[in-house]
Structure formats: structure tokens, C-alpha cells
Structure 1
Amino acid sequence: MASLDTQSPSADAVVKEHVLVCVGPAETSRRLIRAAARMAAGLGCAWTAVYVERPDGPALADVDAERLDEHLRVVEALGGRVSRVAGDDIAETVLDYARRIGVTRIVLGKPTHPRIRDLVRGSLLDAVVRGSGDIDVHVIRGEPEAPARPTRVPPSAHEPPRKYVAASALVALTLAISEVLRRILHLPDLEMLFLLAVMVAAFRYGRGPSLLAAALGVACYDFFFVPPLYTFSVADRKYVLTFGMMFGVGWVASALASRLRVQEHRAIAREQRTLALYGLAKALASTEGTAPLAETAVAQVAEVLGAPVEVWLSEGGGRASLVAASAVPATRLAAARDAIEGVVLSKAPVPTRALAASPGTVVAQLSVAGSPFGALVVDVPSTLPHEQVAFLDVLARQIAVALGRARLSEEARALELRARTEEMRASLLSAVSHDLRTPLASITGAATTLRDEPKLSEATRADLVDAIVDQAERLERLVANLLDMTRLEAGIVSPKKDWVPAEEVVGAVLTRLEGRLARRTVDVRIDAAVPLLYVDPVLFEQVLVNLLENAEKHTPPSASVVVGVERRGETIVVEVRDDGPGIPEGAEERIFEKFERGASAASVGAGLGLAICRGIVHAHGGTIVAKNRREGACPWR
């Protein structure tokens, strides 16, 4: 009897699938892409399409480049990731890239070319299968009508006629120099001169001109220097090998030069893109605010791409609006505008691509952490190649991060302001409700007593009336303080300054507070050197009133109060001192905040008097501080 022991795999043993498909300009790539997309959907995993560029490979023809871009756009439309890598060995490059990103399955197309080609150039499929290791390789058949090879652009077709003329002139110059030196140099030395000319033409002018220089060099060398002279016939067959070597050197040198030139162009392109990204990052880092960031972004991207650029952002209510544009906004068809708004308001990621309604408009979605909130729109005269589209996508991601940071910062400031407003509202309601309730209760009680007790004595009635008046004045001060604080915070207080004597201001304040300070000893000390004060008399009186009322509230009736005005250099110091218990340690700055009240008078006042003092003094361009004296009393300056 046998038993079968089964165990479910652990979480660590589960391999995360990743499909990689190799694509190119051939029509077979479309079928491979769809097969890879279906495979990834069935496995529930990510998939990537990779295109390998060979540095020494010939450039693609326009039709093949457009077809390749179309294939890569199909990949993005189907939810795949696109990657371009460079390498001399395609199979090795694909396998290295696959292992680097954790690929578990590779999709390749079945070869349709003759077997003899694999014997000469090697088989990509065989090389990938042999080197795949633990990666599964899936071979998909191609379309029957697929062409065997993509069309390539002859390298010489890119060279302008002037380079061929320059190569011919270089051979002519070499011929002239050889004629001068033929009496002192041997034939092999002259041959080296022509080889040098071929190599110079290869590295300076390209493959086509170098091959022309090789042909002309062989002809000139044969005609002018190889016996019999001035004829193309060759008496010694060894020169045939020499001519072949000259052609071979020209071909190899031109191939190397072409490869170096391609690598140089790609390096320059990468450097330009890196500099563009650095410039954009630097510009965005030095800008704050959503609108300024959008303006900076469109200016930078428009300079890099040489095309009009716009930034669209989502607004409340499911609307999208144009925030910034590098040029006059383009007039778009309704369908194109709707498509842009659809990208901006979409809740799902949308790949960077041209609009179907307007092929010249490329839209890159702006999103942070998978949350779209805008779009970067570029208007181009023709279709952008995929490399430019991919670069635009990188620019859009960088802009999205900056805009997202700005939006979060603005939202945080709004939330902070809302929280402070709510806190202020709660403090205001708490303070005002208490300070309104107390005088209103006193007024109501006194008035009710006067109404219900007709037999009260005249003295009692007078006391009740005085209590009503005092509490009404208290209510009036509370309302006035609230109005003054509101005006100060709104910034609508503009001091109407005038030259007034310090004695006049202090005297007006003492007269105004004569009733409240009747039982206090107030000592006024004004230095004779004090000039006229350039202040708003009404507002400055309010400052002294609030300070003296504060001293009256927080000191015993036996305490004395000193009001001093003196000149210290170019500064006028106005000081109010009292003999009270002083300010709690650490509260010297806090007492100037709104609704901050002292412990000894918790039931009196709304805590706005000192805040109003600070606002008025700051409006005059001055400063106000509170300090404790050694004996515990408090001077206000």
C-alpha cells in the first residue's frame, strides 16, 4: 500500500510571473505582442516588450521606424511596458535584461528565413534557448504574409554630395603628394599614403565617401605608380592582392567609423535629454505654487521639444481647465478637447500617445501614486517617434511630481488654515459666550429688580443703574475689541498719522479711564527730550487704554501704575509699569495671542486687548514686548 504525501507550496516558493516579448519592425511582431498580452492576462502578471538596438547596425528605413513605433504603441495600449536596450549580441542582451527584471517567460517568433542564414550569422532562437536557463521560452509562429527582413537604409544614402566631393579631393591631394615623393619613396610607402587617405575619408565623411576614396585610390595607384604606368593593366599579380587590401581596409574603416558615429549621435542625444531633465528639475525645484510650476513646465518642455505645450489640470465638479500654455492655445476640435479632458479626468492610468481625433496632439497624463490629476499636451506637426514619446512621458512624470507636491502643500495649508479657523471660532464662541452672558445676566438682574421692586431706596436704585451702565460699557468694549481685531487681521487698518505731543495722548487716556483708575495711583513720567510723536492719535490712545486696563485687571487696588515716555537714541519708548505679580515665566510672547487670558482674571475679558495692541503697534512700524521686573512687576514697552 502506497501513500501520497502532498504539501501546498509556501509563499516564498511561489514565483511571480513576468512575460518578456522581443519585438522589431517586422509585421510578425504584432502577433507576438498580442500573444504575450494574452499570456500575461492569463497568468495575471506584468509583461514587457523589448527592442534591442545594435550600435553597429544600419539605421532603419522610415517605414520600418514608423512600424516599430506603431508596435510599441500597441504594447502600451494593451497595458505592457516598453523598453529599448542596446547591445552587440542580441540574444545575450535579451537574456541579461530578462534576468535583471525578473522575467520567467520569453516570447519569440518562429524564424521564417532560410536555414543557411543561421549557419552563417547564427540563430537568435537557438542562442536564447541555450542561454535561457530557468526561463521558459515560447515560440510563436509569424503571419504568413510577413516579410522575411525589414527594409534597411543604405548607410551611404545619408551622406550629402559634398562629402563625396571632399573624399575625391582628398584622393587627388594624396596623388599630388605621392607624385612629389615618388622619387624618394618605394611603392609600398606610397600605398600607405593612399590607405591613410581612405581611413581619413572613412572617419570624416562616412562609409560611402570612404568606399569611393578606396576605389579612386586603387585606380590612381594602379594608373600612376604600378608598372606598366599610365594604364590599368597589372603586370604583377601581387598588386591585385594589394588592391583588395585597400578595398578591405576602406570597408572595415568605414564600418568602424559608422559605428562610432552612431554611438556618438546616441550619446549626444542621451546627454541632451539628461541636460533637459536636469534643467527641468532645477527650474521646478526653484518654483512654488501650482500656477508658477505649470508656467515653468510648459516653458521648459517647449524649449526642449520645439513645439507648443499646454498643461491641463482637473478642478472640482469633474471639470478640466487649461492652466498654462507656452504659446497661444491651439484651436481644437470638440472631439480633441473632449479626449484631453477624458485623459485629465480619467481615474485609471492612460499611456502617453497621440489623440485619434488629432494625430498631431500628444497627451501625457499627469499622475502621482496612481492618482491622475492633469495632462501635458504637446502639438507637433508630425507624428512623434516612440523615443520622443517615451522622453515626453519621463518629462510628464517629473512635472507631475512637482505639481503633485505643490497641490499637496496647498491642500495642507488650506487644512491648517481651516483648523486654525475652527479653533479660533471655538475660542471666540467660548470667550464671547461667557463674556456676553455675565454682563447680560447682570443687566437683566438689575433691570428686573428695578421693575419688580418699586419700594427700593434711591441709593439702591442708583447702584443698580450704575451696574447696568457698567455692564453695558463692558459689552461695548467687548464688541469694539472684536471689531478692532477683525479689522487688524483683515489688513484694513491704515494709521492716519499726525504729529501730537506725548502729554496730550497720555492725558486723553487718563481722562478716558478716570473712573476705572480712580482708586489707583498713576504716575506719569515724560522725558523733556521726547519730541512730538508721529502716530495715529486715536489708535495710539487705544493701545494705552488697553495696557492700563490690563494693569487694572491684574493688580491689587493698592498697586501703583507708572506711564513713562522717554527717548533712547532714535527710538521713542513708551512704558507702562505696575506693581502686580508679573507674567508667568514663558508666557511673555503667548499673552499677545488672541483669546489668551491671564489666570487671575479668567472670568474677565475676551483676551483680545493685548493682541489689538500688538496689531496697532505693528501697523505703526513699532514693536511691543512684555518683561518682568526683578521685584515681579511687569513693564510694557
Structure 2
Amino acid sequence: MGVGRLAGLSVPVRHLVAATLCALAAAAVYPLRQLLEPANVVMLLLLVVAFNAAWLGRGPAVLGTVVSVALFDFLFVPPQLSFAVSDVKYLITFAVMLLVSLLIGQLTVSLRASADEAALRERRSHALYALARSLAGAMLPAQVMEQVAAFVRTEAGAEVHFHLPDEDDGALHPQPAGVPAPGVAETTAAAGIFFTPAEGQAGCVAVAGVGLMLPLHGATRCRGVMVVQPGAAAAPLESLRPLLEAVASLAAIALERLHFVAVAQASQFEAEAERLRNSILASISHDIRTPLTVLFGLADALALSEGRLGSEEREAAHAIRDQAGRLHDMVDKLLDMARLQAGTVRLRKEWQPLDEILGAAIALLGDALRAHPVTLVQAAETPLVAVDAVLLERVFCNLLDNAARCSPAGTPITVDLAREGDMLVVGVRDHGPGFPAGGERAFELFERGRASGVAGVGLGLAICRAVVEAHGGWIRAGNAADGGACVRFALPCGEAPVIEPEAGVEAQA
């Protein structure tokens, strides 16, 4: 109910003021009773009734109406100074005056209430605009929560805290820090609201003993739950529901903006770091490849020379050649990775049997597999696959070389070929210590998935993944149940062309 500007007075005082004003108005007009018609006196008294309704409220206005009618009868209707009525027509005057006074009072009170409500809405709209402007400049979720809590405390006299999801596991945690631990009812209700799809929610939910709980719906998903607890002098929360829903919407927009800003910054930093790393890889690889080639050639020439070097010098030359060759291999891997990430490698696909590509890789490795016999296990008929034989040979070389270097001497390496659906799956298994924690991180750049005592820069498996994914396949690393590491990759089979026999062969058959 809207009341006037004197609503700060207590109820008895407002009623007393209303009656006093009516009495003063009647006393002021009484000396002029011979000059004024009764209708004029009624108009003046109705004016006081309207003032009471506008400035004191509905109750004082009703009391003023009754007092005005009584004073009009007592002071102005013959016989005067008596409540007796000599003419019956004055009864109609009393009834009409009473009804008109009550109607004027009611309309005035309603008008005042509408004006007060409009002023309150305008003030809250300005406050919401100021809140939205301040939230637009918030840089941290803690600032959002602080500004929202201050707004609700000022506008509604209530206290606010939040349940926000963790970025890692998505579990809800009470915020801000220092909030008393919520009860089981609040925690359960917050989880139910947060994990319920937006189309299945009914907006804010009132929980007994907790208050109102409002979901923070963003454009993509729910960003948390806002809990509003009534303060000592707070208005009923249900009456503040539209305001609180607007505040929750602004908080959700601010939190979602901060989330996307963080994601964009992380993506930008990652892209910049990746670009810088690729530039360094390409620059270093090209700059040191030429001197490495010269160094390897000179060391090889020294190692092959006879009669000019002693045994110690020859051993040193062999060691220089071997280390230069290993470093040359690392540089080749850096170049391959740089080219694959730059997207400059074009696949020259041809229909090939994988067992022949595997044989070529084994022959290329040579002495590296001398202590590790390679066993091939495949079905009777293995389909052809459309692959770039040179790149896939590099995949086999990296996998076999890793398996050989990470396995004890004399242990075999097993290669499996099997068709699974529309994919041809290849598995390379050794009998070494295996990958730590399953080995999924082994495919990252410069990530060494094996024991630290094995030489390498952590690029072999990254190159394997880039090549396999470029062919439309997948690759995974894991450990076998009975020990050892196992790397499996799959390539799409496709529709291999039908090889028709030559005419001469048919005739001979």
C-alpha cells in the first residue's frame, strides 16, 4: 500500500493528525457559515479529506471522512451544535458526502500508491543500470559477487552468496570465500537447480530455512546458483522476486563474459606460444642441419680411414659419427614436426600393403633392431590402404625405434595387423617398462613418455600422431596387461580398387 510523505509517523499519530486537520478546517469555516452555502462547506471539507488520503494514507483518510461528516452535521446543519437533523434532505447530503469522501480518499490513495510504485521502479531501474555498468567493468568473479551482494543488501535488505562450479570437475562450491558452510538442504537444492536443464526449471525456488535460490543462466549453460537470505529488516522476498531475477540475470551475464574472456585469452596465449615454438623449431632445424651434415660426413670419413689414426682416435671418430647421426635424426624430427604443423605436407596416397611398408622400415633401421626380433601377426587377408608410404614408413620407424630403445636387449617386438570394421588397426608392442599413467600425454610435443634414462627429445610420437591423423585415423598409447608398452593406430580401409589379371596371365592359366 502506498502512503504519503508523512508515513514515517506512527499509526495513532497519523490518525490523530487527520482528525485534527478536519477539526481545524471546520473551525476555520465556522465563522463564515452565514456567508457560505452548505455545498461550499462540503467542498472545503472534501479538500481536507483528499489531503489526508494523499499525505497520511488510507486509514487516516477514512477517519477524516467520518469526522468531516460528523462536524458538518454538528456545526453547519440546523439545528446547529447538535447531531439532530431537522430536514430529511440533509441525510442524503450526509450519505453523498460520506460516499464521495470515501471515493476521493480511495482514488487519492491509489494514485499516491501508483506514483510511489513508479518512483520505486524508476529508482530500481537506475540502480540496475548502475549495477550492469559496474559489472561490465568487473575483472574477476569475486568482484561480480561483491557488487551483487552490495546491491541486494542496499535495495532489498537481504544477504547474498553463491554456489559456483569448479573449472576442473564442475562441482559446486560456496562463494565467496569465508561464507559459512551451507547445510545439506541448501547444498542439495543448489545442485538440483544447477544440474537441471534450463527448460525444466521454474525460475527461482524458495527453500525453507534457506531463502530464494536463483539459477544463473547464461547463453550457453548455467553459471551457478545465487542464494538470497532475508535480513532482519528485509521485505518479503517473494515481493522482490522480479528484482532478484533481474540481478541474477546480470550476474550470469557478467560471469559468462569473464569465462569467455578467460577462454579467449588462454586460446590466444596458446596460439602465440605454438606459433613461437614452431618458428623456433623451423629456424633452429634449418640453421643447424647443414653443419650437422658436414660434421657427420667428416666424422664418417675419419672413422673409415685406415692407417692414419690410432685405435683411440678411431674410437673417438666413431663416437663423433654416432652422436652426430643421432643429432641429425633429432633435427630431422624437428623439421618433420615443423612441416606437419605448418600444413605444408601434402599426402601422396597410393594403395599399399602395410606389411611391405613395415618391412621397409625394419630394413631402414638396420642395426637398431639387431637385438630385438620383430614378429608380425596378421590375418590371412589384410586389405590395402591408401596411404603416403614415405610418411607411414616414418611412423613405423619411430614406433619400432622407441620400442627397441626402451626394451631390454633380446626381447621381441610384436606388430599386429587386424581389420576392425572399416579401419585397419596396427599395434606395436614391446616388453619394456611401459608408459607412465597410461601414456596419453606421450603424444604431446617434447613429452617424454618413457623412462628418463632413454635418449630423445619427445617428438617421435607427436610426429606419429600428426601423420596418422592426417590420414584420417587415430592413435593411442597404453600398457599391456602382462607388461610392456603398446601403441595402436588405425587407418581407414576405404574401397580398394579391384586388380584385374593381365590378359597374358589369363591365357596362360
**TM range, normalised to the smaller chain?**
0.5 to 0.7
User: 1: CA distance between counterparts of 2:203 and 2:33?
Assistant: 65
Q: CA deviation at 1:346?
A: 4.3
User: 2: CA distance between counterparts of 1:259 and 1:398?
Assistant: 32
Kept after mapping to 1: 8 A contact 2:230/2:237: no
Helix, strand or coil for the counterpart of 2:222? strand
Q: CA deviation at 1:235?
A: 1.8
Kept after mapping to 2: 8 A contact 1:211/1:247: no
1:369 aligns with 2:369: no
- The alpha-carbon distance between structure 1 residues 171 and 373, as it changes in their structure 2 partners (threshold 3 A), is closer
Q: CA deviation at 1:383?
A: 9.3
User: 2: CA distance between counterparts of 1:253 and 1:431?
Assistant: 90
1:331 to 163, 166, 181: 181
1:255 to 77, 87, 106: 106
1:439 aligns with 2:291: yes
AA at the equivalent of 2:301: T
AA at the equivalent of 2:26: L
Q: CA deviation at 1:405?
A: 1.7
1:542 corresponds in structure 2 to none
User: 1: CA distance between counterparts of 2:251 and 2:242?
Assistant: 14
Q: CA deviation at 1:247?
A: 0.8
Kept after mapping to 2: 8 A contact 1:361/1:377: yes
Kept after mapping to 2: 8 A contact 1:159/1:208: no
- The alpha-carbon distance between structure 1 residues 339 and 187, as it changes in their structure 2 partners (threshold 3 A), is closer
Helix, strand or coil for the counterpart of 1:310? strand
TM-score by length of 2: 0.53
1:400 corresponds in structure 2 to 252
User: 2: CA distance between counterparts of 1:168 and 1:448?
Assistant: 119
2:94 corresponds in structure 1 to 243
Helix, strand or coil for the counterpart of 2:128? helix
1:203 to 34, 47, 54: 54
User: 2: CA distance between counterparts of 1:243 and 1:224?
Assistant: 13
Helix, strand or coil for the counterpart of 2:61? helix
Structure 1 range deviating more: 379-388 or 221-230: 379-388
1:360 corresponds in structure 2 to 210
1:218 aligns with 2:69: yes
Q: CA deviation at 1:226?
A: 2.4
1:413 aligns with 2:260: no
Q: CA deviation at 1:318?
A: 3.0
2:164 corresponds in structure 1 to 313
Q: CA deviation at 1:278?
A: 0.6
User: 2: CA distance between counterparts of 1:260 and 1:337?
Assistant: 45
Question: Which structure 1 residue ranges, 4+ long, deviate > 6 Å from structure 2?
Answer: none
User: 2: CA distance between counterparts of 1:308 and 1:193?
Assistant: 49
Q: CA deviation at 1:379?
A: 1.9
- The alpha-carbon distance between structure 1 residues 289 and 202, as it changes in their structure 2 partners (threshold 3 A), is closer
AA at the equivalent of 1:228: P
2:449 corresponds in structure 1 to none
User: 2: CA distance between counterparts of 1:347 and 1:206?
Assistant: 46
Deviation readout 1:386-441 (Å, 9 max, x if unpaired): 34223222221122112212211211111122222222222222222333333333
RMSD of aligned Cα (Å) = 3.5
User: 2: CA distance between counterparts of 1:366 and 1:191?
Assistant: 58
Helix, strand or coil for the counterpart of 1:200? helix
2:82 to 213, 231, 239: 231
AA at the equivalent of 1:368: G
Kept after mapping to 2: 8 A contact 1:319/1:345: no
Q: Return 5+ residue gaps in structure 2 as ranges.
A: 3-8, 328-509
Kept after mapping to 2: 8 A contact 1:346/1:372: no
User: 2: CA distance between counterparts of 1:256 and 1:225?
Assistant: 27
User: 2: CA distance between counterparts of 1:292 and 1:195?
Assistant: 55
AA at the equivalent of 1:437: R
1:344 to 194, 198, 201: 194
AA at the equivalent of 1:446: L
Helix, strand or coil for the counterpart of 2:98? helix
Helix, strand or coil for the counterpart of 2:213? strand
Helix, strand or coil for the counterpart of 1:308? strand
Aligned ranges for residues 179-198 of structure 1 at < 5 Å? 179-182=30-33, 184-198=35-49
Q: CA deviation at 1:372?
A: 1.3
Aligned ranges for residues 486-505 of structure 1 at < 5 Å? none
Q: CA deviation at 1:203?
A: 2.7
- The alpha-carbon distance between structure 1 residues 416 and 329, as it changes in their structure 2 partners (threshold 3 A), is same
Helix, strand or coil for the counterpart of 1:322? strand
Kept after mapping to 1: 8 A contact 2:212/2:227: yes
User: 2: CA distance between counterparts of 1:421 and 1:324?
Assistant: 33
1:424 aligns with 2:276: yes
Aligned ranges for residues 409-558 of structure 1 at < 5 Å? 409-453=261-305
Q: Which structure has the highest helix share of the two? A: 2
AA at the equivalent of 2:226: L
Helix, strand or coil for the counterpart of 1:317? coil
Helix, strand or coil for the counterpart of 1:362? strand
AA at the equivalent of 2:173: S
- The alpha-carbon distance between structure 1 residues 214 and 380, as it changes in their structure 2 partners (threshold 3 A), is closer
User: 1: CA distance between counterparts of 2:90 and 2:235?
Assistant: 53
Kept after mapping to 2: 8 A contact 1:351/1:365: no
Kept after mapping to 2: 8 A contact 1:360/1:383: no
Instruction: Among all aligned residue pairs of Structure 1 and Structure 2, give the percentage whose two residues are the same amino acid.
Output: 32
Q: CA deviation at 1:380?
A: 2.1
Q: CA deviation at 1:257?
A: 1.1
TM-score by length of 1: 0.43
Q: CA deviation at 1:218?
A: 2.5
- The alpha-carbon distance between structure 1 residues 196 and 298, as it changes in their structure 2 partners (threshold 3 A), is closer
User: 2: CA distance between counterparts of 1:296 and 1:207?
Assistant: 38
- The alpha-carbon distance between structure 1 residues 383 and 270, as it changes in their structure 2 partners (threshold 3 A), is closer
- The alpha-carbon distance between structure 1 residues 367 and 199, as it changes in their structure 2 partners (threshold 3 A), is closer
Deviation readout 1:338-389 (Å, 9 max, x if unpaired): 3324433445553333454x53332211122351121222222589543422
AA at the equivalent of 1:240: L
User: 2: CA distance between counterparts of 1:253 and 1:201?
Assistant: 10
Kept after mapping to 1: 8 A contact 2:204/2:245: no
AA at the equivalent of 1:340: A
Q: CA deviation at 1:255?
A: 1.6
Q: CA deviation at 1:456?
A: 6.7
User: 2: CA distance between counterparts of 1:355 and 1:176?
Assistant: 55
- The alpha-carbon distance between structure 1 residues 269 and 195, as it changes in their structure 2 partners (threshold 3 A), is closer
User: 2: CA distance between counterparts of 1:263 and 1:406?
Assistant: 39
- The alpha-carbon distance between structure 1 residues 243 and 263, as it changes in their structure 2 partners (threshold 3 A), is same
- The alpha-carbon distance between structure 1 residues 265 and 159, as it changes in their structure 2 partners (threshold 3 A), is farther
Aligned ranges for residues 112-123 of structure 1 at < 5 Å? none
- The alpha-carbon distance between structure 1 residues 300 and 230, as it changes in their structure 2 partners (threshold 3 A), is closer
Kept after mapping to 2: 8 A contact 1:298/1:324: no
Aligned ranges for residues 552-631 of structure 1 at < 5 Å? none
1:297 to 148, 163, 178: 148
